[in-house]
Amino acid sequence: MPFGTIFRRVILMVLDSVGIGEMPDADRYGDQGSDTLGHLFAHRPLHVPNLRRYGIANIKPVALPPVAAPEGAFGRAAIASAGKDTTTGHWEIAGIITETPFPTYPNGFPPDIIEAFERAIGRRVLGNKPASGTEIIQELGEEHLRTGCPIVYTSADSVFQIAAHEEVIPREELYRMCEIARRLFHGPHRVGRVIARPFVGTPGNFRRTEGRRDYAVDPPSPTLLDLLKASGWETVAVGKTGSIFNHRGFTREIPAGNNMASIEGTLHAMRETETGVIFVNLVDFDMLYGHRNDVEGYARALEAFDARLPEIEARLRPDDLLLLTADHGCDPTTPSTDHSREYVPILAYGRRVRRGVNLGIRRSLADIGQTIAENFGLRLPAGESFLGEIKADPPDS
């Protein structure tokens, strides 16, 4: 381990959409009053003893008493980039500030794009509008079965999604269609992600499978992961993290389709990774509960995650750093089903972390990446490191 490296491994877990209160510019995004965690804690008492002892309730007032002596460092970060989507949030964590937001399509995709896509795949499409993924397959699934036309839809995010029944359009053909779409979306139509959404079942009982595949754009400049990999450190992606960076900058990827699978993947990575960064995305908070305004489901998912934290702690080495954060909000208690422009929590835990440190309000998610970069002797173009604030002095090993 190079001289000056405080933490030999960093386990960075992004709790997708677990925001912690509206940002000052939330009104520009239609997100006034959004507070994902605050409203969940107000919904009912949440049993999250491990997050609480790390300091989750010390970040800002919520309907949960703070602890007198948190075992971790705690704070929250603003999003400096324009936008409130998954790609923007993860890229900012890794050191890239997105100045121009990815395009969105509240009225569906323009005719020239759709016509070019239809010509390229040799089929017409159904839908072409913003929609819930589960609802649009119920609405158009029967017609899709009859015609063989794929279902195209978007959301408030910068996404071009293609849904197809696996017995009508096999997964590999669906993936090929997504690759075609990815090549078509460039310039002003450079969407953040093209997403394959396979489903199965019969009319009235369609359900999506875990064959989802994301096709992202390349980050415009080197990220934290690129620098770490080039410097010889291990970089492991768990869950959909790899696809968010278009599979760039990672030495290994562990696929996982839901929170519990991602936690199992994290534990597996911790067994087999000696040094570097394990970068995890926990997708269920956003995909299953935030976008569906399922308040109780979101609350249960947080409790289920909290219950698995002792297993992760048991695998932590004395020189490990566990970082928990998010990429944006998605308040399930508001009428909107879209992401929300919120601060995100930061919790740092480990034997070498100074306990009870209040990191305050960080100006950018890039502060997380800069902290990791400094730990490994690197430097990002954006972000202010808080490594000096959290490291125990001398190291508590």
pLDDT in tens, 372-381: 999 999 999 9
The crossing angle, in degrees rounded to 10, of helices 259-272 and 295-315 is 10
Report the pLDDT value the prediction gives residue 257, as an integer from 0 to 100: 86
Determine the average pLDDT of the residues in 7-27: 97
Distance CA 145, CA 392 (A): 60
pLDDT at 156 (0 to 100): 78
pLDDT band at 1 (very low <50, low <70, confident <90, very high): very low
Per-residue confidence band for 3, with pLDDT thresholds at 50, 70 and 90: very low
- Residue 133 pLDDT exceeds 50: yes
Token duo for residue 28: 């520009």
C-alpha angle 310/367/231, rounded to 5°?
A: 85
Q: Which amino acid is at 352?
A: R
Average pLDDT over residues 231-243: 96
Rounded to whole angstroms, the Cα distance separating 101 from 114 reads: 22
pLDDT band at 394 (very low <50, low <70, confident <90, very high): low
pLDDT at 228 over 90: yes
Q: Is the pLDDT of residue 64 over 90?
A: no
Q: What's the CA gap between 160 and 350, in Å, rounded?
A: 40
**Position 397 confidence tier, pLDDT thresholds 50, 70, 90:** very low
Alpha-carbon distance 166 to 175, whole Å?
A: 11
User: Domains of the chain by range and CATH?
Assistant: 9-96+219-390 (3.40.720.10), 111-216 (3.30.70.1250)
pLDDT of 165 strictly over 90 = yes
Q: Is the pLDDT of residue 260 over 80?
A: yes
Report percent pLDDT > 90 for the chain.
Answer: 91
pLDDT in tens, 18-42: 999 999 999 999 999 999 999 999 9
Per-residue pLDDT for 63 more than 90? no
DSSP string across 324-336:
EE-SSB--TTSS-
Give the position of tokens 């002596």. 69
pLDDT tens digits along 277-325: 999 999 999 989 999 999 999 999 999 999 999 999 999 999 999 999 9
Those residues with Cβ within 8 angstroms of residue 195's Cβ, 6 or more apart along the chain or in another chain: 159, 160, 161, 162, 178, 212, 213, 214, 215
Residue closest to 234 by CA, chosen among 5, 10, 3: 10
Q: Residue 4's pLDDT is what?
A: 59
On the question of pLDDT at 395 being above 70, the answer is: no
Mean pLDDT estimate for the chain: 95
Confidence of residue 205 (pLDDT cuts 50, 70, 90): very high
Q: Are 255 and 227 in contact (CB under 8 A)?
A: no
Q: What is the pLDDT of residues 325-347, one digit of tens each?
A: 999 999 999 999 889 999 999 99
Sheet holding 276-282, edge to edge: 252-254, 235-238, 276-282, 9-15, 320-325, 344-349, 73-77, 358-362
Question: What is the pTM for the complete model shown?
Answer: 0.91
Range with the poorest average pLDDT among 28-37, 59-68, 86-95: 59-68
